[in-house]
Structure 1
């Protein structure tokens, strides 16, 4: 930005327009400057003004660089007071309200890096190195001068203090914004609406926040929607999250975490692809000792209306929690389950949520509801329903059900596992349902490979037995541990290099996933993947076709049954 000082005539014109300054020498302007566009402004400290800028009715404007084509209208205060990181470097207490899993905010934070920082606290050396790299990045963001990005419009706002805006954003009616960064872009601008109060925050592109929202120590990633008096403290919301009406404290909201209802409290937990029913609630307190505990709801989980869970507890992927659970449980080994409360017991029905139209609908809608238009998408999101991580869980769950069945006596109505009660008569049946999912997975992956006319062979080095879900991204555990070691040992790496390494893993995802699937097929058929006979390939595809038909038929059956129940209810 080419700037110059105001001349005498311009200063006099500005005074005529109701403007004042503590020191006119600190007000700099671009070569193309129209004094008629600047009215009723009190300049304090250093102010730099770009081309085609309109500033009117600003009670206090101090220490800012105003980009080209910016409009500032009817603002109580827009000031930078001392050196600030504009929200970069703020540490928030996510997942555990009592602390110990602090997440350092910065303007290019991704869900994957955040997951590392929050869940790897046991590796003190790694955390020390990671925080050092992030702190180095944040220190470069510190300044005594704020910035309002080109094309930004700010109207009818209250106190804006230590606020930095990159790219064109729209702010209208905000009450107070302090110590924060808004990273906007022309393809996907940020919108901050009426009644918003936020302090110590980072907001990324495409996000819209309005209608009296209260944010304190919060991160909002790309494409987030928060409104209708929502309140959040010490929370991180990553890509495509939505929060309305309710409140959240110390949550790690992975991609597509959604809560729309009043009286809903999300507290001290990790979510992703989650849907909160009205009145969903949790407790993280240990009697008289404070908020010590946390919960994990794996991807695709839902909680029913007026549900309650006592932390620590863990819910398996694509599972539904119904009722009030006053005891701790761990259902992470059983994806696609129902967890309901009966007579004070948490009862588990494994695999049954595979047969609901809601699960099918969810996997489709997430693909169409990615709102991010920014050319640079920070969070890496994998959406496949059946994949090495989920099928690995299914295999483990099926083995557990088999072991429980072998140990159970015929007199038992229920068996117990990690705080859960499972009906003995369901153990064998639900195991068969899991087997159906495994056959669907093997068949669909083999068909994909054949359709692409790619070799069935794989690189043995690509195989990793265990996979993890890193806030929406499936990664082999071996590759994840390698990345942790690389971050720890490479002193020259910064936050950009770490994000780049995650993208490289994403580019390898299909080959890594195929290696896992191929190994599964080899174990089941007792031969190398390239040695499969035509009959064996036909068997895998035939099992896939038969299992898919059964799955679809069961979904149709459930829908038909539901319609019958509703029709009976309507006749009453």
Structure 2
């Protein structure tokens, strides 16, 4: 049975906050007055104004509770019913226009309960507007219900005074069983979500994160909903417990409940037709259009949901777009793309710069006794058409997964790999360095694209988009001994010899020797690897003889690029740096790369109270971002030495000169690879067969020589050569 309460009409618009929840000496308006701040600029109505309002078919339970600005024009209020205290700014004989919507300033055909209005607002046909503070020149038209309750939390994972714990909103990220849940909050960065979802065994750290969130928000009841200046709300059905920034545009939404919608001039957010959003935080500059359903979610700034997308129990990073498909229980770092109706993502940590193809189903298939499967994918994750993965699986950076059903769990630690499920010989095949060997254009352009499309106005976290960065280079260095070991074992097997009598170091040395000195012989080997799939079938590495020297050359290029970028202008300065430079593991913290030791230090400071709020943690992110270039330089120099088996003492000016020359060769090869991989699209007869002739093709896709990105890479290569030459002359 529905519990419908019957109360005196005289109470409508009053007693918003129960007396038991009011501080001593405070009335129900004290928080409202703090939020409004303009309460002293209003006066009571005069007799003529009341008469005009009554003649215009307006009613009020108490005209003494209506306060107005001096420039208030009573003729611009018609057919409205007021309850409780209402404050109205100046109303002048203008009309406001937005996207061809033209409406006269004033309040018309609406029921208004205990609200404050700024100057020259437009309120038309709002069936019930309750407990809102409306900014200047706001347009609200054709809304069924727009109300705020005394316990509004606006999407934040907090509870108000007197509320039970079970009403708190949690986001069940990365895992369907809730074991990595976090409390959402306005301003939550991808790094915050990452740190909170990890370290679940550290109870002290987890308690601090919860305390940070609790401390950030007031538990008192009685806050009003806000609508910022110049926001436009039209043709919406239900808006309840939603606070809205300035310059927002809401049109045709079905239901918006318990939300913070951040918006401001220059980073306006929009919500469109048919959307239903509940229990969420929407960042600045977001777009939500066309039948989207989102429940328990955070959208970081400048992210998009479109065309019926479903986002549930998930965090969507900055500059990311999800269309059509369904995403559940996932933590997604910045620059993620997912556009296809039949793709599905669940119980995953996706570390950004990612793209999911149509038919990809990255969903927990409950392969154990509970919904506890997870997938972790490094930057550049790209599951291809109709890829189906089994939880748990883990992938290094820039993994491309070819079409197929992968029946067993995967652990692929080699970056830039093509992963192929070969059904005809029942083999898992991995091609290290695929992107460099076969699709350099896509890899390089994507890296450039993410920088170009980073629309964030608040760059508290320094997001790394370069494909050669500390995380991917560490993975390269980790994969070298994997290839060495697998190559040595394959060679001895081909010779009919066992390896039991050989040590690990001997095998690694033999593999390195073969890969560097006898690549043609390595090319003839069938190189198998272990530990990359939870099965008894073979796992084979492809084109190792090409990938191995390429990886080593890329590490050298990474080192030289960073040396040039940081202005090292003498070998003496470089050698001094080499004496202290160290390499080690790095962690992708929401798109911002940090040394593992730095993350450990962060956690220690949080537990000891040296970092005592989210704001302080965000300040630390910024400080670490300022140190990143220097730390990356140190890592690059250490990696440069490590891959060549050198140290500061054995690193000579002659060797550095060789590294400079090698980096130019590698950079030239990459630039040529960018051109050649794009050129294939023009030369492939199957690509061109849909066009009448070459001219028709170029009219549709453009001329290869006019490709702006290719021209940009050629220019960058010329500039790189000049930098190298300038430094070489100083040696």
TM-score normalised to structure 1 length: 0.92
Which residue does the alignment assign to 1:40? 109
5+ residue gaps, structure 1: none
1:462–1:471 CA distance, 2 compared to 1 (3 A)? farther
Which residue does the alignment assign to 1:77? 145
In structure 1, how many angstroms separate the alpha carbons of the residues matched to 2:234 and 2:690?
55
Residue 214 (structure 1) shift = 0.8
Which residue does the alignment assign to 1:238? 317
**Alpha carbons 1:237, 1:252 under 8 Å: kept:** yes
In structure 2, how many angstroms separate the alpha carbons of the residues matched to 1:141 and 1:265?
40
Specify which of 32, 38, 55 is matched with residue 2 of structure 1. Answer: 38
- Secondary structure class of the residue paired with 1:291: coil
Which residue does the alignment assign to 2:478? 396
- Identify which of structures 1 and 2 has the higher relative contact order when contacts are C-alpha pairs closer than 8 Å and 6+ apart: 1
**Alpha carbons 2:483, 2:548 under 8 Å: kept:** yes
Residue 156 (structure 1) shift = 1.1
Cα displacement string for residues 388-432 of structure 1 (whole angstroms, at most 9, x for unaligned residues): 211111010111111122223228845233334543563333222
- Secondary structure class of the residue paired with 1:469: strand
5+ residue gaps, structure 2: 1-36, 77-105, 158-168, 497-524, 692-731
Aligned pair 1:484/2:603, yes or no?
yes
In structure 2, how many angstroms separate the alpha carbons of the residues matched to 1:236 and 1:282?
16
In structure 1, how many angstroms separate the alpha carbons of the residues matched to 2:50 and 2:489?
89
Aligned pair 1:321/2:360, yes or no?
no
Residue 26 (structure 1) shift = 5.4
- Secondary structure class of the residue paired with 2:468: coil
In structure 1, how many angstroms separate the alpha carbons of the residues matched to 2:220 and 2:618?
18
1:469–1:142 CA distance, 2 compared to 1 (3 A)? farther
Which residue does the alignment assign to 1:528? 648
Residue 218 (structure 1) shift = 1.1
Cα displacement string for residues 433-470 of structure 1 (whole angstroms, at most 9, x for unaligned residues): 21121122122122324467794344988745211111
1:447–1:313 CA distance, 2 compared to 1 (3 A)? same
Specify which of 611, 617, 620 is matched with residue 498 of structure 1. Answer: 617
Which residue does the alignment assign to 1:365? 449
1:6–1:553 CA distance, 2 compared to 1 (3 A)? same
1:347–1:23 CA distance, 2 compared to 1 (3 A)? farther
**Alpha carbons 1:184, 1:190 under 8 Å: kept:** yes
Cα displacement string for residues 183-227 of structure 1 (whole angstroms, at most 9, x for unaligned residues): 111121111111111000100111111111111111111111111
- Comparing 335-344 with 448-457, greater Cα deviation is found at 448-457
**Alpha carbons 1:17, 1:38 under 8 Å: kept:** no
- Secondary structure class of the residue paired with 1:157: strand
- Comparing 442-451 with 492-501, greater Cα deviation is found at 442-451
Residue 181 (structure 1) shift = 0.4
Residue 5 (structure 1) shift = 5.7
1:436–1:168 CA distance, 2 compared to 1 (3 A)? same
Residue 28 (structure 1) shift = 4.6
Which residue does the alignment assign to 1:263? 342
1:56–1:462 CA distance, 2 compared to 1 (3 A)? farther
Which residue does the alignment assign to 2:124? 56
1:16–1:311 CA distance, 2 compared to 1 (3 A)? farther
Q: CA RMSD in A?
A: 2.6
Cα displacement string for residues 302-354 of structure 1 (whole angstroms, at most 9, x for unaligned residues): 121111111111122112111221111011x2110001111254321111122
1:251–1:17 CA distance, 2 compared to 1 (3 A)? farther
In structure 2, how many angstroms separate the alpha carbons of the residues matched to 1:207 and 1:297?
25
- Comparing 63-72 with 446-455, greater Cα deviation is found at 446-455
Cα displacement string for residues 89-147 of structure 1 (whole angstroms, at most 9, x for unaligned residues): 13111111221111221111111111101122232211111111112113469643111
1:227–1:9 CA distance, 2 compared to 1 (3 A)? farther
Residue 290 (structure 1) shift = 3.9
In structure 1, how many angstroms separate the alpha carbons of the residues matched to 2:364 and 2:383?
17
In structure 1, how many angstroms separate the alpha carbons of the residues matched to 2:274 and 2:122?
23
**Alpha carbons 2:559, 2:633 under 8 Å: kept:** no
1:291–1:22 CA distance, 2 compared to 1 (3 A)? farther
